[in-house]
Amino acid sequence: MRLYLTAFLLFLFGPIAVIVLFSFHSSPALIFPFQGFSLQWYGKLFANAAFRSSFWNSLQVGVATTIITTVLGSLTALALIRMGRRSKIVVEVLSLAPIGLPGLFLGVALLTLFARIGLPRSLVTITIGHVLFTLPFFVEAMRSRITYFDFTLEEAARDLGASPWQVFSRVTLPILAPTIMGGAMLTFALSFDEFIITIFVGGNDTTLPLFIWSLMRRSIEPTINAVSVITLLLSLAALALAGLMLLAQRRRTAIARTPLFED
Amino acid sequence: MEDNFVEFHNVTKKWGDFVGLDGINLKIRRGEILTLLGPSGCGKSTLMRIAAGFELPTTGDVIIDGRQMADTPPEKREVNMLFQRYALFPHLDVFDNIAFPLRIQKRPKEEIRQRVEKMLELVQLKEFSSRWINEISGGQAQRVALARALIGQPKVLLLDEPLSALDLKIRHHMLEELKRIHRETGTTFLYVTHDQDEAMILSDRIVLMNAGQIVQMGTPDEMYGKPQSLFAAKFFGETNIVEGKLVRSADRCAVETTDGLITVEDKMISEGSRVYASIRPEAFVISNHAEGNIRGIVEDIENIGARTVCRVRSGSGHAYRAQVFRTSAISTPPIGANVALSCAPADVVLVSQ
């Protein structure tokens, strides 16, 4: 049992550890023995204008996609749980189906569409593609949690004097906030990584995955390790941020009340 | 003083062909505890949800303190509800849960603090104010819900089977608590339950419902002692039902059953009609001499705490349950003994189908 777990964890985290290690390697060789630490690959990377612009592009697309998907997806999920059983099944299947669709297909379809309506390929078209791609994942992530949402809480709030809008802003939204945040993080990660659809609808704008791919085509350079580590850090930062926000929310309510009991 | 505070006027609720409530007329007095009692699906919860505004009646209306409620949404009605599963907000702690209605009303901070503290005192949860609601027990959660429902000083408190999620011991304690809080606040309570014991302990008046209609209404004593139908007789506690024909002679009125004549008080029921006699187990006197209305053999003896119930199988095969009080004067007959059951005519209640 313990052996299996060790092997499992090694399998999961081994490659990550190797990449992180070699991104600090002082020699370009990607083999052991390790020859000392250096930040030269990071330096090289940040000196590269193509990296900087693709990184910036990915951030923009990621943030825009996350905002749009989170708003649309939350509304969809909230509508979904209030639907009648039959229409609910139809909408559920339809909204989930694109997950099974090959990215290739979506890419070609979007490309054709954009050409037809004369929308030039840019970060905007990439964002549209990403929203389309991430929305089903977001809705699915929310739906599985929202199924357990207790609607008597909304009734109780109404009963205690809250208008429908106040019920949403003071009860439904705060209770679902962690779920929505989780979905938003997932969306950002998916968008930040997305490759196939981006190739089709990207035009001249490069995102980070496209940049990495172009690096790979020439030769396997150690800068790739550095790029990977930066991507990893970004994901970890997003996670940490979400956690901190939750913590802060709890503390805020606690602090807001303490003075009330000091008499 | 006859003061009708909440009135249901001819309230009907239909879902398609299904009739959930069938022309309910009911008046609740100011300050009383009125219980809607009935089996599940009898419409009692629907009636309460109509009062709260969560359901709209198909026809008819609710009047609360003189105002028609038809066009008033739940948040504008001066009634609050205690939910079966508490419905406390999981993202708020005890204090904030109770303060919720006042925060919605945008009351000043100091007033909120004072009123929440008063409520915490009322429900005896002062030291729990900063607990999260997943950190308190079911009984405490229900008391928080009670405080939250009462802080806005509603005209009526609706209680939807509030004790059904609690275990037996806490349930009895909570009943006492509810009575105390009712005394201290003077709020009108509309209580819904399927548990006749809860209804008997708590209520000023009980409304027994079945299949969307009111079956009988009265004080707990009246409901127990004078059931008007077979359904009411069976619903309130244990009883023996014997079917028979009403017969009358010069000096007495009786029900002729397969186990002989059972004398009853003459209630001007026409002779020869089919009636049901309801006799409570505690109304029987069990003896070993031959005289007595019903003769049989003791088949089983149940000891239920302070009382002992004998199951007596009569000659016709009918099983009667008769209670023996455990006093030193009366000894419980052994299983297999030949006994006679008798009861005072006043303790036999005749009901229709």
Nearest residue on chain A to B101, alpha-carbon basis: A160
d(CA A150, CA B215): 34
Its pTM stands at 0.79
- Give the A window 158-177 contacts with B, CB below 8 Å: 158-163, 166, 170-171, 174-175, 177
B165 vs A: CB within 8 A: no
Three-state secondary structure readout of B221-233: HHHHHCCCEHHHH
Can you give the pLDDT at residue B6? 93
Can you give the pLDDT at residue A252? 55
Among B90, B148, B149, beta carbon nearest to A175: B90
Chosen for mutation from B91, B109, B146, B160 (greatest number of chain A CBs closer than 10 Å) is B91
Nearest residue on chain A to B111, alpha-carbon basis: A260
B197 to A203, B28, B37, B159, B237: CA distances (angstroms): 76, 21, 10, 16, 8
Residues of chain A with pLDDT > 70: what percent?
A: 90
Among B105, B109, B130, beta carbon nearest to A161: B105
Contact residues on chain B for A174, CB-CB shorter than 8 A: 91
Give B149 to chain A, closest Cα distance, Å: 7
Torsion of CA B194, B196, B200, B206, to 10 degrees: 60
Can you give the pLDDT at residue A144? 75
Q: What is the mean pLDDT of each run of 10 residues along chain A (263 residues)?
A: 88 84 74 74 82 89 94 90 82 82 86 86 88 90 79 92 93 87 86 86 84 78 80 79 67 51 36
A251 vs B: CB within 8 A: no
d(CA A107, CA A113): 10
Among B74, B92, B93, beta carbon nearest to A158: B74
Give A164 to chain B, closest Cα distance, Å: 9
Chains A & B: contacts with CB separation below 8 Å? 72
A78 vs B: CB within 8 A: no
Can you give the pLDDT at residue A47? 82
What stretches in chain B show pLDDT beneath 70? 1-2, 290-292, 326-330, 353
Torsion of CA A14, A15, A16, A17, to 10 degrees: 50
User: Would you give the distance in Å from CA A104 to the centre of its chain?
Assistant: 20
d(CA B8, CA B200): 23
* Neighbour order of strands in the sheet with B348-351: B260-264, B253-257, B240-248, B274-279, B348-351
The torsion angles phi and psi of B206, rounded to 5 degrees, stand at -120, 135
Nearest residue on chain B to A178, alpha-carbon basis: B91
Q: Does B152 sit within 8 Å of A161, measured CB to CB?
A: yes
Contact residues on chain B for A150, CB-CB shorter than 8 A: 85, 87
Nearest residue on chain B to A158, alpha-carbon basis: B75
Residue A199 token pair: 């190739």
Can you give the pLDDT at residue A227? 83
User: Would you give the distance in Å from CA A14 to the centre of its chain?
Assistant: 23
Residue A183 token pair: 């979905």
Tens digit of pLDDT for each residue in B72-96? 999 999 999 999 888 999 889 999 9
Nearest residue on chain A to B153, alpha-carbon basis: A160
Can you give the pLDDT at residue A94? 84
Count CB atoms within 10 A of the CB of residue B302. Answer: 11
Q: Angle CA(A15)–CA(A19)–CA(A22) in degrees, nearest 5?
A: 135
The torsion angles phi and psi of B71, rounded to 5 degrees, stand at -105, 15
The torsion angles phi and psi of B21, rounded to 5 degrees, stand at -135, 135
Can you give the pLDDT at residue A204? 79
- Give the B window 22-41 contacts with A, CB below 8 Å: none
Q: Angle CA(A215)–CA(A218)–CA(A222) in degrees, nearest 5?
A: 55
d(CA B259, CA B342): 12
Write the DSSP string, A117-184.
Answer: HTPPPSHHHHHHHHHHHHHHHHHHHHHHHHTT--THHHHHHHHTT--HHHHIIIIIHHHHHHHHHHHH
Q: Does B81 sit within 8 Å of A159, measured CB to CB?
A: yes
